[in-house]
Structure 1
């Protein structure tokens, strides 16, 4: 067991949750100079881009149970490693949300009822989108995220550019879907803030676990079918790839 991989995944997912959700909770609505949806979208993309270069050579920089499952479905990751990777990612996300809570709660007027960057549907969707719209959005966005990951890390793709494509891909996904679900495409990222946001977030959490996992698996399967000779792993090829 190489615990360094799991530690890297926990640290990376911690950074994604703290950086991405932190930008939404702390900086998005700051009076007059708030970064808004665009800023939050770039913040999420930048967390993945920076961690891809930092830990891609250690763990592959999945940072997301849906990515791990999708890579396994696409023949790029061993199935027996899914559970420890997912556990590490969820732990990292919870710690990241906890650190964010400690920081954000120090501001005058802090109100956890504002959502704490948790994902939601219906009345808890930023744009009041229906459950069906949110479910469809999360499946499709995660599917396309895996498609981008699988393609940019393929052995025949230009070397060294995968983190940029993946980070910008996640940015684009957020630009599209923040108004719909607050953008999950990552069960770990959803679990962390939901534990602090309250019963409504925990009650709706099932969608943001199930939909990204379904979308990730679909993206992995589709790209595996499209590309006859898949090779490589996310960003740095540190994890043993499963040959197809």
Structure 2
């Protein structure tokens, strides 16, 4: 073929239809909120209950059976339980199960501030119910305190809980709120982070990272030694963790924008003439 020959090349232009109505479903925090609050609260109660029951049951079984579960086994139980609960309930309530996580999300306007008190009450209620259930099942000689107590100094426990929760919330913010992250791996990433934290912090502080996790057993067993550490340090760690990630992230879109779906509507072929 010579230089004057003409050929037709077929190209396809994808026309995208962005759902402009999505912003109408966003509240003042920029969070797309379509699930009724009552359903979200029930999900938080159930999720927190199952998390505390499974994790603390592993601790009790380990104590009552010559440490057969072992520290890695306890860490895997907590991590896998959180992972499956995120995939089960994340699309309903966000799968917080932790007042520190709820407060941290609200501080960056990725969660409605007005729902924070209700979420915290639901999480603490779930923890108390789970702790009470375990107290009824493992009573008498099988009874042990399943809460969290520092094995060293209060300062050491405070710093470790801060770092653990910072690590956890940093990962949560990265995988759950950044539209560039692989959202399908959220549960795995968060569950593995909890597993890692428990492996190094469990023998020292119990690796709570969650005020509700420590408060529930404390209320049931009336054991409040060092409780202030587990109420304050995780909240501070979570706040600094989410603020740090939001500072270094490339683009901080409102959650409403991240949840807006882009739907391909049609493919338009067109021809372009070109000369060789």
Q: TM-score range by the shorter chain?
A: 0.7 to 0.9
Name the counterpart of 1:9: 44
Q: Is the 8 Å Cα contact of residues 74 and 221 (structure 1) preserved in structure 2? A: yes
Q: Tell me how far 1:152 sits from its aligned partner.
A: 1.3
Aligned to 1:100, the other structure's residue is in SS state helix
Q: Tell me how far 1:62 sits from its aligned partner.
A: 0.3
Name the counterpart of 2:211: 187
Name the counterpart of 1:91: 125
TM-score, length-normalised on structure 2? 0.75
Aligned to 1:117, the other structure's residue is in SS state coil
Q: Tell me how far 1:73 sits from its aligned partner.
A: 2.4
Structure 2 unaligned runs (5+)? Answer: 1-35, 260-276
CA distance in 1, matches of 2:220, 2:38: 28
Aligned to 1:61, the other structure's residue is in SS state coil
Q: Tell me how far 1:220 sits from its aligned partner.
A: 1.3
CA distance in 1, matches of 2:248, 2:231: 26
Aligned to 1:22, the other structure's residue is in SS state helix
1:52-201 to 2 correspondences below 5 Å: 52-105=86-139, 109-112=141-144, 116-121=145-150, 125=151, 129-153=152-176, 154-198=178-222, 201=223
Name the counterpart of 2:236: 214
CA distance in 2, matches of 1:135, 1:83: 24
CA distance in 2, matches of 1:62, 1:39: 23
Name the counterpart of 1:240: none
Structure 1 unaligned runs (5+)? Answer: 238-244
188-197 or 142-151, larger mean C-alpha shift? 188-197
Q: Tell me how far 1:65 sits from its aligned partner.
A: 0.4
CA distance in 2, matches of 1:142, 1:103: 30
Q: Which structure has the highest helix share of the two?
A: 1
Q: Is the 8 Å Cα contact of residues 29 and 36 (structure 1) preserved in structure 2? A: no
Q: Tell me how far 1:31 sits from its aligned partner.
A: 3.3
CA displacement, residues 56-89 of structure 1 (integer Å, 9 cap, x when unaligned): 1100000000111111223321222211111110
Aligned to 1:161, the other structure's residue is in SS state helix
TM-score, length-normalised on structure 1? 0.85
Q: Which runs of 4+ in 1 moved over 6 A?
A: none
CA distance in 1, matches of 2:66, 2:122: 38
Q: Is the 8 Å Cα contact of residues 143 and 216 (structure 1) preserved in structure 2? A: yes
CA RMSD of aligned residues (A): 1.7
Q: Is the 8 Å Cα contact of residues 12 and 61 (structure 1) preserved in structure 2? A: yes
Q: Is the 8 Å Cα contact of residues 139 and 212 (structure 1) preserved in structure 2? A: yes
Aligned to 2:41, the other structure's residue is in SS state helix
Q: 1:178 to 1:231 in 2, by over 3 A?
A: farther
Q: Is the 8 Å Cα contact of residues 117 and 182 (structure 1) preserved in structure 2? A: no
